[in-house]
Structure 1
Amino acid sequence: MKKLLLPLLFVLLTPSLLAQDFNAGEHYDVVSSGVSTPKQVMEFFSYFCPHCYNFEPIAQQLKTTLPADVSFKRAPVSFLGRDMGPELQRAYALAVALNVEHSITPALFARIHTERKAPANRADVRALFAEHGVAPDMFNSRIDSMPVLAEVAGYDSIREKLNITSVPTFVVNGKYVIKIGALKSQQQFNDLVSYLLNLDAQESGNATN
């Protein structure tokens, strides 16, 4: 987790009135020579991460500002939560597949960080899904299915490729990792994402001039 993040969680919600200049190494790192198509913002997170929980309103506000041609995706990591880390990776993949992620994610965050009753086993996760309309038989038949396991393998593969070691971490276009500790407002965060989404096109245009 980036230093100084917790104090910034408050000021990040305050609009910035100043135009921003963004620099590699200061506001973001370049971690890949490739770029995702179509445009994409990906958040690496863990349900067990208190900073990810606190960052939720910031991430949700960012989503409302993204253009229609930009997707917002999440990749849960397995390195927090001990044995339940991989279990909640599967839970997230299943929630997306069943189109209940919008209710499961806030419920899991609240269960862990507000109620202090983190799921201790698969039965606890199954019970939470049941509370949000997923029948236990459906949960049991899908949680170890090949599509869910393939999604989890994808999360791990891209995390390893980009060497993601802390959460929350935001990666733009599969290439740029945002340095959260360098940001001072929600607006600056939004502006940096917008800048990075268009950076490759800007550089291509400059190269041809």
Structure 2
Amino acid sequence: MKKIFALLTALIIFPFSAQAFDFEEGTHYEVVKQTATATPEVKEFFSFYCPHCFKFEPLMTNLKQKLPEQVKIKKVHVNFIGKEMGAELTQAYAAAEILKVEDKLSSLIFDQIHTQDKAINGRAGVLELFEKAGVDKQEAQNALASFPVSGLASQMKRDTETFNIRGVPTLIVNGKYKVNTGSIRSNEEFVALVTFLTQKKN
């Protein structure tokens, strides 16, 4: 967590850098799997209950704008923070993806937890947030109970276990490389490192 805080601070203090970057395995990234995905992708493991994930959102928004269009960014909500509500919000995020309101719902959830400092009270509280995101309550209930949403939530749980995620935010690039965020000193370097890893062939 201290490394994430240091990164966030550094990105504010050093928003731009003219230096050329030379990224090294073991310093800037780690190899966590031997085989990369067929197409470039970035998976961000996060939790709505994680304050560092909340502060990380603008950096991910900027990254999404800077990466080539063919590089897909996938967000994976983890269950291990927030007790029983961790899994509930994984289900909620999966439903939001299916309903294509994930950005709206994410903003509302982060705001309620970290800005308003208010708890989300179970499924009823989740449904209230869907309504604020413009989704009819019955439509949200149907989505939350649907097979596609359950399948997507289960996939998020499997991904968390597959990559042995123990802290968030964590970025896995091309299913093979884990970004060492503590090594990064600027926003520009962050974008450059992730871009480098999406293009890395071995």
Using the TM superposition, give the Cα deviation of residue 145 of structure 1 relative to its aligned residue in structure 2, in angstroms. Answer: 1.1
- What's the counterpart of residue 155 of structure 1? 156
Q: Does residue 176 of structure 2 align to residue 175 of structure 1?
A: yes
Q: What letter corresponds to residue 140 of structure 2 in structure 1?
A: F
Using the TM superposition, give the Cα deviation of residue 4 of structure 1 relative to its aligned residue in structure 2, in angstroms. Answer: 2.9
**What secondary structure sits across from 2:38 in the alignment?**
coil
- What's the counterpart of residue 12 of structure 1? 11
Q: How does 1:119-138 map to 2 (within 5 A)?
A: 119-138=120-139
Q: How far apart, CA to CA, are the structure 1 residues paired with 2:133 and 2:199? A: 38
Cα deviation digits, residues 24-59 of structure 1 (max 9, x gap)? 111111000111121101100000000000111111
Is 2:78–2:86's contact at 8 Å kept on the other side of the alignment? Answer: yes
Give structure 1 stretches of 5+ with no counterpart: 204-209
**Equivalent pairs: percent with the same residue?**
40
- What's the counterpart of residue 54 of structure 2? 53
Is 2:54–2:110's contact at 8 Å kept on the other side of the alignment? Answer: yes
Cα deviation digits, residues 54-98 of structure 1 (max 9, x gap)? 111111100001112110110000000000000000110111111
- What's the counterpart of residue 192 of structure 1? 193
**What secondary structure sits across from 1:44 in the alignment?**
strand
TM-score, scaled relative to structure 2:
0.96
CA RMSD, aligned part only? 1.0
- What's the counterpart of residue 140 of structure 1? 141
Q: How far apart, CA to CA, are the structure 2 residues paired with 1:146 and 1:71? A: 24
Q: How far apart, CA to CA, are the structure 1 residues paired with 2:193 and 2:132? A: 38
Q: What letter corresponds to residue 180 of structure 2 in structure 1?
A: K
Q: How far apart, CA to CA, are the structure 2 residues paired with 1:199 and 1:137? A: 45
**What secondary structure sits across from 2:43 in the alignment?**
strand
- What's the counterpart of residue 206 of structure 1? none
- What's the counterpart of residue 167 of structure 2? 166
4+ aligned runs moved over 4 Å, structure 1: none
TM-score, scaled relative to structure 1:
0.93
Is 2:42–2:72's contact at 8 Å kept on the other side of the alignment? Answer: yes
Using the TM superposition, give the Cα deviation of residue 144 of structure 1 relative to its aligned residue in structure 2, in angstroms. Answer: 1.8
Q: How far apart, CA to CA, are the structure 1 residues paired with 2:23 and 2:144? A: 42
Is 2:6–2:182's contact at 8 Å kept on the other side of the alignment? Answer: no
Using the TM superposition, give the Cα deviation of residue 8 of structure 1 relative to its aligned residue in structure 2, in angstroms. Answer: 2.4
Q: What letter corresponds to residue 11 of structure 2 in structure 1?
A: L
Using the TM superposition, give the Cα deviation of residue 113 of structure 1 relative to its aligned residue in structure 2, in angstroms. Answer: 0.1
Give structure 2 stretches of 5+ with no counterpart: none
Q: What letter corresponds to residue 3 of structure 2 in structure 1?
A: L
Cα deviation digits, residues 92-119 of structure 1 (max 9, x gap)? 0111111111211111100000001121
